[in-house]
Amino acid sequence: MRLHTAPDHGVVGRVATAISEVGGIVTGIDVAESSHERLVVDVTCSAADAEHAERLQAAAAAQPGVTVHKTSDRVFLLHIGGKIEVSSKVPLRNRDDLSMAYTPGVGRVSLALAEHPEDVRRLTVKGNSVAVVTDGSAVLGLGNIGPGAALPVMEGKAALFKRFADIDAWPICLDSQDTDEIVRAVQLIAPGFGGINLEDIAAPRCFEIERRLRETLDIPVFHDDQHGTAIVVMAALTNALRVVGKDLGSVRAVVAGAGAAGTAIVTLMIAAGVTDVVVFDKEGCLSADDQTLPPAKAQLAAVTNPRRVRGDLRAALDGADVFIGVSAPGVLQAEWIADMAEQPVVFALANPDPEVDPAEAAQYAAVVASGRSDYPNQINNVLAFPGVFRGLLDARATDVTVDMMLRAAAAIAGVVTDDQLNPDFIIPSVFHPDVPTAVATAIREG
C-alpha cells in the first residue's frame, strides 16, 4: 500500500499496529518521500486472501491523517506484461548470422521443406511446440469468462510446459464458442504445431471438438481437462488401492460429475479394469434404463452402472470402495462415507472448494485426496501434461491413445516407492524431478 500521511513519523508505528490487529503481517515499511507537508509511505504486508487484504487496507485508512493512495497485489504485479516471451535460440550478431537465420539462407530451407514436408518437425519449431487452445467457456472454476479473461490462465499453462518439459507452448484464445468455427480455426493453425492442448472448453462441446480434430489432424490432440485429469486420478487411485490392499478389478466406484473430467476418468478406469462404476450427476445416478438422459450422459450410462443403481449420491455410495468427485462443492456429507465399504478412498477434486472438506472426510476414509495444495495428496494435472506432450513430440506421434494414458498413469504412480507410500503420500509432488521424464518415457517407448 502506498500511503499519504501527515508529516508525523509516529504514524508509521500506528499503521503497523493497526494492520497487525486485524491479522496482517507487516514485512516492510519504507518512507518513499518526506516533506513538511506530507510523508509518502510504502507498506508491504501479507494477507490471507483478497477479502483480508481489503480489511488491512481499511485498517490503515482508518488511522488519523492517513490516505491510502494506491494498493498493489503481488499476484497482479507478477502478471504485468504477461508471463511468457519469445526469445531467439540462435545468435543474430552480424550480416552472416542474419543471412542464415533469415534471407537468403532461410529460402533454401523452405524449398527443401516444400519437397520433403516430413522434415518440418526437424527443421522448425513445430517439433517442440504445442498450441494451448481455449474459447474461455469453462475457465478453472470461474465459468464462461471469455477468451481475453482466459489468457492469463493459458499463459500460465504455457509457462508450465516450458518449466517442466522444455516445450514451447503458445496461448491461443479464440473469440468464438461455435464448434465449427473452433474446429476450423485449429485446423488452420495446426501446421505450425506438433500438438494441440485443448483447455477450459465447456462440455459437451469439448467432446465434439476433440473428436473432429482427432479425425482430421495428423498431430496429437489432448484435452487436458479430460485426459490430464484422468491420468493423474488413475495414478492416485492405483496407489490409494495399494495402501488399502484392494485391486482395480474388484472395487466399486462412484464418480460425481458427468462433465469432461468425469467422462474421461470413467473411460480410463474402465480401460484399466474397473467393472463397477456408478456416475452421479444432476439427474441422479446415471443408468442405461433412464430414457430421459441427454445424449452424452446416455452414452456414459450405457457403459457404467451394471447394477442399475438409481437415486441420490448417498444411494450410490452404499458399499462403494471409491468416491471420485469432479462436480461441485459440498455435494458429499462426510458422514455418508461411513456407508461405504471398509477402508474407503475419497477423492474430492472440485476446486477451489471440494465436494467434502478433506479434514472431515479423513475422519471416515482411509485415503483422502483433493485438488488443493494445502492438504496432502494433491491431484494436479501438472503431473501429467508436460511429460505426455514431451513423449508425444519426441515420438513424433500423430495421436494419443488410451493405452498411452494408462502407461502415463502407471509411470506417475511408480514414482512413489513402497517405502514412501502411505495414506498421506499416494502421489508425487509436481516438482518431483523424475515425473516428467518417467511419463515421457512411458509415452515414447511403450
Cβ-count burial 414-438 (b if 16+ within 10 Å, e if not): ebbeeeeeebeebbbebeeeebbbb
Using alpha carbons, select from 262, 241, 278 the residue that is nearest to residue 423: 241
Pairing verdict, β 39-46 and 25-34: antiparallel
Q: Are 326 and 312 spatial neighbours (Cβ–Cβ below 8 Å)?
A: no
Q: Which residues pair with 252 in a beta bridge?
A: 276
Buried b (16+ CB within 10 A) or exposed e, 272-305: bebebbbbbbebbbbbbebeebeebbebbbeebb
Which among 126, 157, 246, 297 is annotated as catalytic? 157
Between strands 322-325 and 345-348, the pairing is parallel
- Interior/surface letters 174-208, b for 16+ CB within 10 angstroms, e for the rest: beebebeebbebbeeebeebbbbbbbbbbbbbbbe
**How far from the centroid of its chain's Cα atoms is residue 250's Cα?**
30
d(CA 254, CA 234): 14
- For residue 223, give every residue at least 6 positions away whose Cβ sits within 8 Å of its Cβ, in sequence order, or none: 197, 198, 199, 201, 206, 210, 260, 264
Which amino acid belongs to residue 231? I
Provide the grid cell at 327.
462436480
Contacts of 47 (CB under 8 A, 6+ apart): 24, 53, 55, 56
**Has 157 been annotated as catalytic?**
yes
Whether 211 contacts 263, CB under 8 Å: no
Half-sphere exposure of 408 (CA within 13 A, CB side): 31
Catalytic entry in 70, 89, 102, 126: 102
> So which residues are the catalytic ones?
102, 157
